[in-house]
Amino acid sequence: MKKVELQIGEKFNYWTVLSLSEFKSKKGERYYKCQCQCGVIRDVKSYHLKRGDSKSCGCFRKEAMSKLKRIDIEGQKFGKLTPVKRVQNNNSNHFNHWLCKCDCGNEVVASTGALRRGKHLSCGCIRKGEENHNWKGGRLKTPQGYILIHNPKHPNCNPNGYVREHRLVMEEMIGRYLESNEEVHHKNGIRDDNSPDNLELWVKSQPPGQRVDDMVNFCYNFLKKYKSNLLKNE
């Protein structure tokens, strides 16, 4: 395939093509002698120009950073963050970062661009919820067919703050949190049918030993705990 040569005078962002350079890479890639709008002349690889990888001698980035520096967003609201003070970026000399106060009370440093584009909305306190790009409104369905509800304050939620809906429904029915040895069974086998009539409580635990005292004590505690359920079935 014939390589398409660049035309003299052709512009690529801040670059203007002056001539074909004598320099070539080890792979034979073409370079063009280009002049930046600031006056700097350099040899630039052709496909860097065509793909937009090289926009200038470096002044384009400096100009963009200068514009960001001039943008004053102090006191504005970005999600849960409020910029309170401009600070220097640890990786450069640019003051395009802000010390922000989160609604939860924490402080975090965020760039002007990330705040304005909505990519930084909290100190991290809601990263597992509304801020996450996979957020589905707090309701998910697992590959196994179970419905998960986002409830990060639940004592038995998973690391991402979700609880299986059928367990929440059963807890509301019996008026307490379920224990680790308790399971909720779907009568019709449909795992996303969490209507109260379709759910029943199962218990996995067994007496800790085979001694009579252990078994009697187990039965006593079991009847005491599930007495209300037995009365409903009478």
Please compute Rg for the chain using Cα positions.
32
- Report the length, in residues, of the chain: 234
Extended beta strands in the chain, E state: 11-12, 15-24, 30-36, 41-45, 81-87, 97-102, 107-111, 139-141, 147-150, 162-164, 182-186, 199-203
The residue ranges of every structural domain in the chain are: 11-57, 69-135, 139-203
User: Nearest Cα to 45, choosing from 13, 17, 8?
Assistant: 17
Check: CB of residue 83 under 8 Å from CB of residue 73: yes
The mean pLDDT of the chain is: 80
Encode pLDDT of 174-213 as tens digits. 888 998 888 899 999 999 999 999 998 887 766 555 666 7
Q: Quick count: other Cβ atoms within 10 Å of Cβ 166?
A: 23
DSSP letter, residue 78: B
E strands, 116-190, are 139-141, 147-150, 162-164, 182-186
Q: What was the pLDDT predicted at 64?
A: 64
Q: Which residues of 58-93 are buried (b: 16+ CB within 10 A; e: fewer)?
A: ebbeeeebeebeeeebeeeebbbbbbeebeeeeeee
**Binning pLDDT at 50, 70 and 90, where does residue 6 land?**
confident
The per-residue pLDDT for 4 is: 56
Q: How far apart are CA 223 and CA 228, in angstroms?
A: 9
Whole-model pTM? 0.39
Residue 213's SS3 state is helix
Interval 101-105 mean pLDDT: 85
pLDDT, tens digit, 9 for 90 and up, residues 29-80 = 889 999 998 889 999 988 888 888 888 888 877 776 666 556 788 888 888 8
* Alpha carbon distance 62, 76 (integer Å): 25
Q: What's the pLDDT score for residue 2?
A: 45
Q: Are 201 and 223 contacting, i.e. CB atoms less than 8 angstroms apart?
A: no
